[in-house]
Amino acid sequence: MENTLQEQLDCSTVKSLGAAAGGCISSADIYLADGMKIFVKKNAKTGSRVFLTMFDGEFASVSAIIGTQTVKAPKPLKVFDHNDTCYFAMEYLELNSLNQEAANLGRALAKMHLHNKEMIDTAAKQSGYIGQCSKGVHSFGFEMTTCCGSIGMPNDWHESWLEFFARNRLQAQLNLIENTYQEREALSLWSQIQRNLSKLIPNELKIVPSLLHGDLWSGNTGETDGQPCIFDPASLYGHHEFDLSIAHMFGGFPTQFFDSYHQIIPMDKGFKSRLKLYQLFHYLNHWNHFGSGYRASSISIMKTLAQL
């Protein structure tokens, strides 16, 4: 593998430093490349092209996040495949669990979420034509497929966030569930929820696309050298509240994170109900990844949303 990395990264010397802690989908190794530590994720499971798509989406996501200059993320280096195995090489960071930097992460995330709006507003002022500028992202979606876990998320562009979220996140997940489990109750509840979507995401919200992490649970955050850090993104341009939905799940984040975030971006009316709607995506996604153990949680939240 050292020779392959030398070629792919155009390095003079590469030395293996052993295995690194991986996730539930990919494993990882650490190398020393021309004196710099790099972290290399790999996946050789059946259907490796799926994982090439996953790594390509993660590369683009991290690049977009770094481009905002608001929050630290590991610098991506190269995605490649070799001998039916997919690899993603990136900067290695010495990470600790998020603790002291929780409030700073909340502030940094809020600034990341506002970055696109600030670009649009600045360009509009400079051009003198409010709403007519081309700088910034004006639609909801992303430049390519990203994967929340190992499932590809369709990111074709939509003018409406409600339409994007309903079709490209909830409907896409429910289609997978129907195909795998021949599920009927969830589909029946979904038809009822659809009638409530305009109440949950009303036009008066005036949602401006924000660059999102897309899978911001506590396991995808940390701190390094006195700075908060995020990684393993599945980015999209969407409603900023979507990133906060999974942040409240699976152990959640420290209170300081949410307090500092909402000092910059206050809660809008209906936030708590929308949080349930956005969390539904993650429950469905976990159902598709890990099986029917997540069915009860998914059905429960769907019943709540159907009765609004």
Q: Given the DSSP bridges, would you call strands 210-212 and 151-153 parallel, antiparallel or unpaired?
A: unpaired
Verify whether residue 215 is a known catalytic residue: yes
6 HSE (CA, 13 A, CB side): 8
- Under a CB-based contact definition with an 8 Å cutoff, are residues 67 and 60 in contact? no
Cβ-contact 299, 189 below 8 angstroms: yes
| Given the residues 10, 81, 121, 215, the one annotated as active site | 215
Which residues are catalytically annotated?
Answer: 215
